[in-house]
Structure 1
Amino acid sequence: MVEPSVTVEALYENMDFKLLAGEKGLNHEVQVSDLSRPGLELSGFMNYYPEDRIQLFGMAETSYLENLTSAEKTVLFDKLCTPRTPAFVIARSLPAPQELLNIANERGIPVLSSKLKTTRLSVYITNFLETELAPISTMHGVLVDIYGVGVLIRGNSGVGKSETALELVQRGHRLVADDSVEIRQLDGITLIGRSPKLIEHLLEIRGLGIINVMDLFGAGSVRPDKKISLVIELELWDAQKQYDRVGLEEHTTGICDVQVPKITVPVRPGRNLAVIIEVACMNFRLKQLGNNAARKFTDSLTQEIQSKNNNN
């Protein structure tokens, strides 16, 4: 599993910020997604100053600073601007104290300004950082968006994953990634899959080579990322193995410490895998809505048997 990192420059480029000072510190790395709104720190209490977080100033912080003398603000920002401080962000396009700009320029700590309100800005920054700093693992497989369900198709090399994905795209579904899937674990339970940039929108079909799905089928045939909700394991048909014929058994597989529902589909000539996977996704959605066809059938069968036994 890869521990990702994100720079202040990436945050600056992805949001509508204005750079006020500290341009040479844009390459600073942000290590945590939590933000800090220095309240007690502005009053001089520095015992628990989270210096490794982005420091967010809103109306309350800037209003308090206006009551301080220039000398007091210089002493204060001298303590706040540490080598571990990634950046300062000021909301509502409020004026930045000149003392902060001077020290930030001197020490290479970016000061960014946004027109957004403080609460909304806090949410946007946190969401961006949580996404970029989420743990990443890479898994072999194909990720497809089928009827809104993110399906990770897995199986041994040559079993037909890419060919099945190609047919699914032809049937109107959307490709996310082929061969290699980068999976980010958000908020501990949500898995978001995407393709590595090098092979984005590409499919490898044996005997045909590499094709660009977006060029062939249009922009509606691909999407950049998708939440993984279901894993479908393709395996060659084993005549000695007993496969589930009713659908009562529910299996899961672990991905990044998260248990994801899994369905095993045997592969042999004559089976239309794309149609089977489509139906599996529709049935999965019905189960989520509380409509379990296998359980209904089993309950009806049990009632029928009990009714016949009672009559006898």
Structure 2
Amino acid sequence: MAEVTAEGLMEEFQLTLVNDEESVTFRPITTSDISRPGMEMAGYFTYYPAKRIQLLGKTEMSFYEQLSTEDQQDRMKRLCTYDTPAIILSRGIDVPEALKEAANEVGVPVFSTQISTTRLSSKLTIFLESKLAPMTALHGVLIDIYGIGVLITGSSGVGKSETALDLVRRGHRLVADDSVEIRQEQDGVLVGKAPELIRHLLEIRGLGIINVMTLFGAGSVRNEKRIGLGIDLEAWDQKKQYDRLGLDEDYLQILDTDLPKLTVPVRPGRNLAVIIEVAAMNFRLKRMGINAAEQFSERLTSVIEESDHDND
């Protein structure tokens, strides 16, 4: 999980720091939840979520202006705690002196922006959920095949990168080779990308490092992709029984998410790029409710039942 501070928000959203820069402490932001302290402005701080970013809009500040000077100072002092990562005022609202003074005492950064309150809240939440999402890294290749993010795994030397090169030549897009950084977003969504150092690069044994975007154009790469299917390449084992119908369901657990997985045996003569391409298309069909394996199983059952009925 990456560490996010108010300083990062200031750069990302071009926020203006309005209180004393020397007194500010840029504390880590630990949650993507945003608080609009309406109840707190009324004096109710029993369940005040101090560790959230506090967003003040027209509603909160119009109520604040109706308070007495003593109550205004009290609300701002209680709003600014040593746990509060930042306070942001939207729509270019003037920052009260009471807020500046209270924030300077405990080092809370106070920002101002012209962005509307609702839009800013949405943008902040999306940004923080992305940055604070649980992350891991896997050895493998991530390819966008017909809109499906396919994560190709397998032991070193099994042919992952060579297969990826063949897929790129067939018009699909490379996301990451060798190392895939994966973050888990809400509802078990897995999103993969390449580390900055090896973005758009592909390692082919015998050739070395090649730049896919330079060789095949900007349409051959993308920076990140939601992962929908995992394919594990393994050396062909004569003693192992492989699924021949496609009825078996297997999963690869990444963080807290179960990713659908297929195991594809590798041996000379098999066109892995075509097999993986068809696997992605078949996966799309399954999501649309068309399952060839189940249809075959139903036909087979029907034929057997008819045969038994004729024998009777």
Task: Specify if TM > 0.5.
Answer: yes
Q: How do residues 65-84 of structure 1 correspond to structure 2 at under 5 angstroms?
A: 65-84=64-83
Tell me the residue number matched to 1:268: 267
Task: Map Cα deviations across residues 266-288 of structure 1 (whole Å, 9 max, x no partner).
Answer: 10111111110000000000001
User: Aligned pair 1:95/2:94, yes or no?
Assistant: yes
Counterpart secondary structure, 2:152: strand
Equivalent residue letter for 1:14: E
The letter for the 1-side match of 2:74 is V
**Segment drifting more, 116-125 vs 205-214:** 116-125
Q: Which residue identity is paired with 1:13?
A: E
Asked if 1:15 is matched to 2:13, the reply is: yes
Q: Which residues in structure 2 correspond to 1:155-304 (within 5 Å)? A: 155-304=154-303
Pairing of 1:121-160 with structure 2 (within 5 A): 121-160=120-159
- Give the unaligned 5+ runs of structure 2: none
Could you list the runs of 4 or more consecutive aligned residues of structure 1 that deviate by over 6 angstroms after TM superposition? none
> SS at the partner of 2:282?
helix
The amino acid of 1:113's aligned partner reads S
Please tell me whether the aligned partners of residues 90 and 120 of structure 2 are also in contact (alpha carbons under 8 angstroms).
yes
Per-residue CA distance 1:127-182 (angstroms, 9 max, x = gap): 11111001111111111111110111000000000111111111111111111111
Q: Matched residues in 1 for 2:13 and 2:171: separation?
A: 33
Q: How many residues align?
A: 310
- Name whichever of 209-218 and 136-145 sits farther off: 209-218
Query: What per-residue deviation string (whole Å, max 9, x for no partner) do you get for residues 85-126 of structure 1?
Result: 111111222222232134434543222223333222212111
Work out whether residues 153 and 233 of structure 2, in 8 Å CA contact, stay in contact via their aligned partners in 1.
Answer: yes
Change (3 A) 1:99 1:250: same
Gaps of 5+ in 1: none
Counterpart residue identity of residue 221, structure 1: S
| TM-score, scaled relative to structure 2 | 0.93
DSSP-derived class of the 1:228 partner? strand
Aligned AA for 1:57?
Answer: L
Q: Give the aligned residue type for 1:254.
A: Q
Corresponding residue SS for 2:18: strand
Identity over aligned pairs, percent: 56
User: For residue 27 of structure 1, what is the aligned residue in structure 2?
Assistant: 26
Q: Do the aligned partners of residues 281 and 23 (structure 1) sit closer, same or farther apart at CA in structure 2, a change above 3 Å counting? A: farther
For residues 104-115 of structure 1, the aligned pairs below 5 Å read: 104-105=103-104, 107-115=106-114
Distance 1:23 1:200, change over 3 A: farther
1:193-243 per-position Cα deviation (integer Å, ceiling 9, x unaligned): 111111111111111111111222222111111111100000011111111
